[in-house]
Chains A and B, each alone.
Chain A
Amino acid sequence: MSLEAIAAIIAGGLVSGSLYALMASGLSLVWGTVRMLNLAHGALVMVGAYSAWYFSNRGGLAKALQPIGKSIVENAEGSGALGGLLLPLGEWILSIRGGFGLVIGVPFAVLCCGLVGYIMYVLLVKPFVGKPGADLVVIITTLAGASFMQNGVQVIFGPRYKQLDRILKGPPLQVLETAIGLQEVLIIIMTPVALLLLHFFLKYSKHGLAIRAVAQNDDFAHLVGINVSQIYPLTFVVSSILAGLCGVMLGGLFFILPTMGAQELLFAFVVVVFGGLGSLPGTIIGAYVIGFIRETSAYVFSLYWAPVVLFATLILVLIFRPRGLMGGEES
């Protein structure tokens, strides 16, 4: 294997590992705390990408606002004081014809995903919490939710692929004779930052501590006065934000389409099981390990064999460590 190939595998592994880590950590968080599998998690990645596109791109919200801006400007002249007030607003709307840009788009996408995650919890999960067989029911309801979101997005935005603007423009970086795109570099750097923020949230904030407390012992969590029924939706919101971030990054690499996120969800499940269900450090380490295995097998065999190698590794690991890489003992 040449040095160039090794560098390409490392870069590719870091990128896929980052995307899996963002996605799987949310999945793992919900599993650990609410004890449910969220099959709409992949659709949230898609929602993140679409909302980032809608708020940033010239074809999204900015375009939808143009007729309003035009009519404000046209009607402003004849309508006195009120028109004078509205005129700058109309002119401003017309001036943003090129889109709001990603600086606005990404935060709005994150907000949007948090909101969708909350709505999803209220509609698809909350009615079943505490009922017998809830974990199975929720698999079905979230699957239904995913289907609803995918088709809803197709109806609203049409089947044509979208593309996010690049955040960093410029020639790719040359590392060890391999070209790494700036978008990839951004993903490699921003993911650990996001995961570090997640760590600080879970370790030092009151609500983060409460999420971990409910995950570890919900009975005792009740007894120290944690409102467990509020912690569940909070966990969904945090997890959805992580999925949204993953979507924003994915949208910068590939085309955005309604079915995106589905394959990532599958890999995220592999990562979560591989790393140990409910263990966040295990999930993150697992994500990068799986990322590297995928890239290596794609290089050595071919891209089509990568999933086969992945699942074979997973089965092998589970034979020797049934609870995954860092899954704790039965509690």
Chain B
Amino acid sequence: MLFQVEGLVSGYGKIDVVRSLSLHVDEGEHVGLFGPNGHGKTTLLRTVSGLIRAKAGKISFRGEDISNFDARAIVERGLIHVPQGNQLFPQMTVQENLTLGAYVRRTDSRKASNFEKVFALFPRLEERRSQQARTLSGGERQMLSIGVGLMGMPELLILDEPSVGLAPLIKEELARAIAEIASTGVTMIVVDQDVELLLGICERLYLIEKGAVSLETADVSQIDQAEILEMYFGKVS
């Protein structure tokens, strides 16, 4: 097992947002998380990547307990979190943003080929490499966000809401790109509201409600899409 969360509790101040959450991801697997807003998905990811402290429970990566490690130590182990809302360095160029994606020493020797990989995946970023990130469109920013994550040579890539707020056509383009990353064998956790997007990428889904896993699907190819939508929205009578 590559990645495991057991009984995780975390939140802000005295308020627990994640309440005893457990899940696991195997090597090479692509796992989707979905569920209503405000139920702890992003908080879970922020705890996993070391931005906020876990109050209880355990996060392990390759058998090592990484809970409450520095964000930097976690990135160095190859667990890369691409945050929600296309977070970038707005007054830096595309090139500089990508360079910072390769900040950790582990990636030094492969920097040039990683640049090529990202530009092959998102040719638009190459066209705009000397443009400031804040001047990019929403879709391009999301591409850059993912590109920055790829520069860090992820062994587990976590994408938080990659499709949020994007026009349908751009969403499709992005979904294709994410599927392409998935096909290279990178282990992934994708969080999104759009279950159809997750179904195109992931083998397994978790539904997260009230800070815990409320449902876990088996292999999605075995089940009906309508069933999953039913889990999400309740039974349509």
Contact = CB atoms under 8 A, between A and B. Distances in A.
30 contacts: A206-B103, A209-B92, A209-B96, A209-B100, A210-B103, A212-B89, A212-B92, A213-B89, A216-B91, A217-B87, A217-B88, A219-B51, A219-B83, A219-B87, A220-B83, A220-B87, A220-B88, A221-B100, A223-B75, A223-B82, A224-B75, A224-B103, A224-B104, A224-B148, A225-B72, A225-B75, A225-B76, A225-B103, A226-B100, A331-B90
Contact of A328 (B88, B91, B148): B91
A225 B152 CA distance: 9
Interface string B73-93: 001100011110001111110
B89 A220 contact: yes
B141 to A, nearest CB: 12
A33 B71 CA distance: 18
A223 B83 CA distance: 8
A35 to B, nearest CB: 16
Interface string A198-226: 00000000100110110011011111111
A5 B101 CA distance: 53
A219 B83 CA distance: 9
A302 interface: no
Given A209-B96, A209-B99, A213-B100, A223 B90 contact: no
B70 interface: yes
A173 to B, nearest CB: 39
A95 interface: no
Interface residues of A, number: 18
A212 to B, nearest CB: 7
Contacts of B72: 222, 225-227
B13 to A, nearest CB: 12
Interface string A217-247: 1011111111100000000000000000000
A228 to B, nearest CB: 8
- Select the residue from B49, B82, B99 with max chain A CB neighbours within 10 A: B99
A217 B76 CA distance: 20
B99 A223 contact: no
B50 interface: yes
Nearest to A279: B91
A221 B49 CA distance: 12
- Range class of the B interface residue count: 20 to 34
Nearest to B106: A225
A219 B42 CA distance: 14
A221 B103 CA distance: 10
Contacts of A221: 89, 100
A216 B103 contact: no
A310 B152 CA distance: 48
Interface string A25-66: 000000000000000000000000000000000000000000
Contacts of A328: 91
A216 B71 contact: no
Interface string A256-282: 000000000000000000000000000
Contacts of A213: 89, 92, 100
B103 A217 contact: no
Contacts of B100: 209-210, 213, 221, 224, 226
B89 A223 contact: no
A41 B51 CA distance: 31
Those 6 A-B pairs whose CB atoms lie nearest each other, nearest first: A225-B75, A222-B71, A225-B104, A220-B87, A216-B89, A225-B72
A119 B142 CA distance: 41
- Select the residue from A216, A219, A223, A331 with max chain B CB neighbours within 10 A: A223
Contact of B101 (A206, A210, A224): A224
Contacts of B70: 227
A117 B83 CA distance: 34
B92 A216 contact: yes
A223 B82 CA distance: 8
A329 to B, nearest CB: 9
A223 B103 contact: no
Nearest to A225: B75
Nearest to A226: B103
Interface string A298-331: 0000000000000000000000000000001001
A129 B100 CA distance: 24
Contacts of A226: 72, 100, 103
Contacts of A225: 71-72, 75-76, 103-104, 152
Contacts of B99: 209
Given A224-B103, A227-B70, 4 more contacts: A220-B83, A220-B88, A224-B101, A226-B72
Interface in A114-171: none
A44 to B, nearest CB: 27
Contact of B71 (A209, A212, A223): A223
Contact of B90 (A210, A217, A224): A217
